Amino acid sequence: MAMLRQYPGGPPPVAPPAEPPAGAGAVWVKAAMIIGLLALGKMASMQSRGAVGTQELRLIGIVVGQILLLVVALVNVEFVYYVLLFYLPFSARMPGDYGTAVNITNVLTVIVIFGLFCRSTKEGGHFFVRTELDNLMWLYLLLVFISFFRTAIAEENDWVLLVTLVKRFCTPIFMFYLTNWVVRSREQIKESIFVIMLTTLMVAFLATKDTTTPTHFSWERREAGVVAQANIMASFMAYYMFYFVSYCRMYTDNWKAWLLLLAIYPCGRSIMLTFSRGGYISFVAGALFVSYLWKKALAVAVAAVMIFVWFNKEAFLPGAVVERLDETFIQEDAAYGKKTVRMEESAQGRMEIWKGGIRMIAANPILGVGYGQFPPLLPYYSMMPYPMDAHNAYILIAAEMGLPALIVFLLITWRLFKYSLHIYTHCADRLYAALGMGYATGMVAFWWSNGFGCRFNTTETISYFWILAAIIMLIRKKMALSLIANGARNGIAPPPGPPRP
């Protein structure tokens, strides 16, 4: 039975609809998932030191494994879906590309869809599920495709390359719909969260296990982890590490839940080793927000500690981290004994890129300049002599797809933030409330992180964001069904639609 929360002065909490208890099969599924993740982590660790085996042996292993999963999908599509969840953060390090559009992510996705058809055939009906976000999601995708076709038609570009780029952009979003189709029960939600938290911990462990903190900062010593890029690695951890805090918060009466806080150390250290200033800011924002949700006094205490550490960072932070922070602003001697302060070259470059991006938006406010066209067109709108990434997701979306696309994107993220907070504050089931708390915190980190880079469109980084968004929508629907069922038991007419916060 799910643990329920009672709010002071409020009505008794309503239990979610009854579901069959998890049997021994669930234990075997968890054991298999842990063993599989350990094997995947070992392969990723070996891959970082060089190719594992010959190309032929790797291909044979991948094909045999996928055939076995195809057989499993006939009877248990959820297990194959969990395998896909385990694999997604490793897709950049171990893509398994063996031809156009043939890689492990795509093949696993196809196998899951095959399993869904098999499940639907046995149960009758179909597996398609609608959500409250569908209209906004479809509008966002429509604007993406319009931007893509404008680029393809206006420029003499390689269509295959453009299609590949758009497909990579849309793959994480498709995970939202795939999760909506696969996950249905509380037990499946619990297993999905278990997989994501366990994989997050494995990613942090792989980033820190053989890494020592350097004495001095250098670009070569930045830890990229399994996602293969330092700034993206920092964003990944900031998005998903706070679920360990939220589940501890909701199960404080269980001493084992406090052990979840131990995971904060490898996650936080992996962010530190990326030397990503945007990652540091995202971590601070997430830590303050999750502390505020836990208890306001705790947020004040955490903020006080952070301020104290900042003004005494030489005493508390590694020297390399202090160097990285201090190099943002450089103090130089000026005439008459005065001092001048300027930004270092990387920060100055970003400011110039952002100015060029704003000019690009002003010149093309409705439809943008076209998908993928920000880097090559940047020199025409700025002092940058060569193509560069936008280093800001909001400027990139507005510049390439237009201001309407940016507005729709922000509306989607705001709704998800609002829904997750509503689940945290109103849902009686502690499993769901903890997810709402963790997702809302991850969204705060997401907003900050994307202000310093484009961390919203890579499969290995953002797939979990959309997968958890789908689970948030499922929980929201379950809460509405519980409200309707409770009203029917008490002779109250059901509301006309899902309750809104």
**pLDDT (tens digit per residue) in 238-290:** 999 999 999 999 999 999 999 999 999 999 999 999 999 999 999 999 999 99
User: Which residue do the tokens 């095959």 mark?
Assistant: 114
pLDDT at 179: 95
Question: What contacts 290, CB < 8 A, 6 or more positions away?
Answer: 242, 245, 246, 249, 437, 438, 441
How far apart CA 309 and CA 300 sit, in angstroms, is 14
Report the chain's mean pLDDT, rounded to a whole number.
83
The 3-state DSSP class for residue 190 equals helix
* Alpha-carbon span 249 to 243, nearest angstrom: 10
Percent of the chain topping pLDDT 70: 79
Predicted TM-score (pTM) of this structure: 0.87
Q: What is the pLDDT of residue 213?
A: 79
Task: Please name the residues in contact with 226: beta carbons below 8 A apart, sequence gap of 6 or more.
Answer: 44, 48, 89, 90, 92, 93, 203, 206, 207, 233, 460
What span, in angstroms and rounded, lies between the C-alpha atoms of 119 and 77? 8
Q: Which two tokens stand for residue 113?
A: 């869809």
Residues 107-125, mean pLDDT to the nearest whole number: 90
pLDDT of residue 10: 44
Give the least confident one: 344-353, 420-429, 474-483. Answer: 344-353
pLDDT surpasses 80 at 125: no
- Write down the pLDDT at residue 499: 40
With 70 as the cut, is the pLDDT of residue 475 above it? yes
Amino acid at 442: G
pLDDT in tens, 26-78: 566 666 666 666 666 556 555 555 555 566 676 777 778 888 888 989 989 99
**pLDDT at residue 449 tops 70:** yes
The CA-atom distances, in angstroms, between 375 and each of 71, 141, 353 are: 45, 21, 10
